Amino acid sequence: MTSPQFPPGQRPVYQQLSALVQQHFSTHQQPRSGDARLFRKALVIISLYCASYAALLLVPEPLNLLGWLAHGIATALLGFNVMHDGAHESFSRTGRLNRLAALSFNLIGSNRFYWAQKHNRNHHTFTNVDDVDEDIDALGLFRMSPHQPRYWFHRFQHWYVWLLYPLTSLFWFFVLDYKAWFSRTIGKRPFSKNPTLADQAEFWFSKVLYLLIYLIVPLQFLRGTEVLTGFLLMHAALGFLFAVVFQLAHVVDKAEFPQPTANGAMADEWAVHQLRTTVDFATNSRFLTWALGGLNFQAEHHLFPRVSHVHYPQLHQLLQQPLQQLGYPLRSYPTLWAALAGHYRHLRALGRPDDTTLVKAGLAG
């Protein structure tokens, strides 16, 4: 495939927004990375992660199933708040601490190197672009983009998707990771570099460690049926949270799905593309902002991924008026439920036989 390319030369929208953000941090003498608020939160989440793991081993059955469920939720919190910032090198000003935070993804099932290729390089650059952004590729099971083929069963996808989301992390960790690792591609885009011997050793060591932590060790304390039931329950919580939170930012009826021309040219500069394809939600909810690691401020995150999520509420206020003046207002849903409804409407529309999505696809004249 022809690799998509954004227009060369000046990037006026990004340069203006970047100057505002730089001035903000200089004026307030704040680091772009995490601060004491993030470190305190990380300690709370790591404590929940460890305590819930101990509970799933030591609490008598069947109450230990609550430990497995709690551990799935704690694992999602760890991914949202610690791993995600670490992978974007925004958790700390210290490179080693960022790497340690990113490595938590290896602990919870996947791989730091794979995530950098899938998320940082592909998703954050070519958001909602078919064959490049793997986040909108469900191997035909769901139709997330108007450019994807429609099959008869997509007519019901806005119903069955909620039953399949709990399988997300299982499929991710045990299928997609290996598919990408052996093919050296994400979507149809090759890795930017081949993994080194150290990267390969890290990948396989992490996969073995994961099986040891979540299957071998529990089998020393629990019956096999208990371990299997608990393991699936843990992944149901983790997978559902991962799927829903990431879908609400891009696979909704307020997001667009621009595609490159035949020669790979994208219509807009990168920052404008992010603003067209990314949607905030529930930005007034302090609880969701805390729990989701600022992932409800997705537009701010996509524009400035090297800024820690603890600063996103400030950036939201800072950027609203300038973006309105530039003609690219922040797209947002006021509540979590409104975002869920937007996701439902999008899936329902794309499952219909009639093609009613040309405007959203950026194809209307």
Summarised one tens digit per residue, pLDDT across range 308-358 is: 999 999 999 999 999 999 999 999 999 999 999 999 999 999 999 875 544
pLDDT of 295 over the 50 cut: yes
pLDDT band at 192 (very low <50, low <70, confident <90, very high): confident
pLDDT of 10 over the 70 cut: yes
Backbone angles phi, psi at 55, to 5 degrees: -65, -40
Angstrom distance (rounded) from CA 63 to CA 56:
8
Q: Tell me, yes or no, whether 83 lies in a domain.
A: yes
Angle between helices 224-250 and 336-351 (to 10 degrees): 90
The secondary structure element, H or E, covering residue 5 is none
Angle between helices 36-58 and 64-78 (to 10 degrees): 150
Q: Tell me, yes or no, whether 53 lies in a domain.
A: yes
Angstrom distance (rounded) from CA 221 to CA 56:
10
Task: Enter the DSSP assignment of 280.
Answer: E
What SS3 string covers 29-89?
CCCCCCCHHHHHHHHHHHHHHHHHHHHHHHCCCCCHHHHHHHHHHHHHHHHHHHHHHHHCC
Lowest mean pLDDT among 48-57, 108-117, 230-239, 267-276: 108-117
Q: Tell me, yes or no, whether 44 lies in a domain.
A: yes
Angstrom distance (rounded) from CA 38 to CA 141:
37
Q: Is beta strand 189-190 parallel, antiparallel or unpaired with respect to 332-333?
A: unpaired
Angstrom distance (rounded) from CA 204 to CA 240:
26
pLDDT at 1: 57
Read off the tokens for 304: 């400035």
Angstrom distance (rounded) from CA 220 to CA 212:
11
Kindly report the number of other CB atoms within 10 A of residue 239's CB atom: 23
301: CB partners within 8 A, 6+ apart: 294, 295, 307, 309, 312
The closest alpha carbon to 238, from 103, 55, 74, belongs to 74
pLDDT at 152: 95
User: Mind giving me the DSSP string for 120-143?
Assistant: IIIITTSTT-TTT-GGG--TTSS-
Q: Tell me, yes or no, whether 104 lies in a domain.
A: yes
Q: Tell me, yes or no, whether 21 lies in a domain.
A: no
pLDDT band at 360 (very low <50, low <70, confident <90, very high): very low
Q: How many CA atoms lie within 13 A of 118 on its CB side?
A: 20
Summarised one tens digit per residue, pLDDT across range 238-288 is: 999 999 999 999 999 999 999 999 889 999 999 999 999 999 999 999 999
Q: Tell me, yes or no, whether 361 lies in a domain.
A: no
Q: Return the percentage of the chain with pLDDT > 90, whole number.
A: 81
What average pLDDT does the segment 150-159 reach?
96
Task: Enter the DSSP assignment of 214.
Answer: I
pLDDT at 359: 39
Give the number of domains in the chain. Answer: 1
pLDDT at 248: 96
Q: Tell me, yes or no, whether 244 lies in a domain.
A: yes
Angstrom distance (rounded) from CA 169 to CA 190:
23
> In which residue are the tokens 């991924």 written?
305
Total-model pTM: 0.91
pLDDT band at 189 (very low <50, low <70, confident <90, very high): confident
What average pLDDT does the segment 40-55 reach?
97
pLDDT band at 363 (very low <50, low <70, confident <90, very high): very low
Sequence-ordered alpha helix ranges (H) in the chain: 12-28, 36-58, 64-78, 84-87, 95-107, 112-115, 157-164, 168-171, 177-183, 197-211, 217-219, 224-250, 270-277, 286-291, 298-303, 312-326, 336-351
pLDDT of 213 over the 80 cut: yes
- Residue 188 belongs to domain spanning: 33-351
Q: Tell me, yes or no, whether 20 lies in a domain.
A: no
pLDDT of 51 over the 50 cut: yes
Angstrom distance (rounded) from CA 31 to CA 25:
7
Summarised one tens digit per residue, pLDDT across range 95-107 is: 999 999 999 999 8
Summarised one tens digit per residue, pLDDT across range 66-78 is: 999 999 999 999 9
Read off the tokens for 12: 């006026």
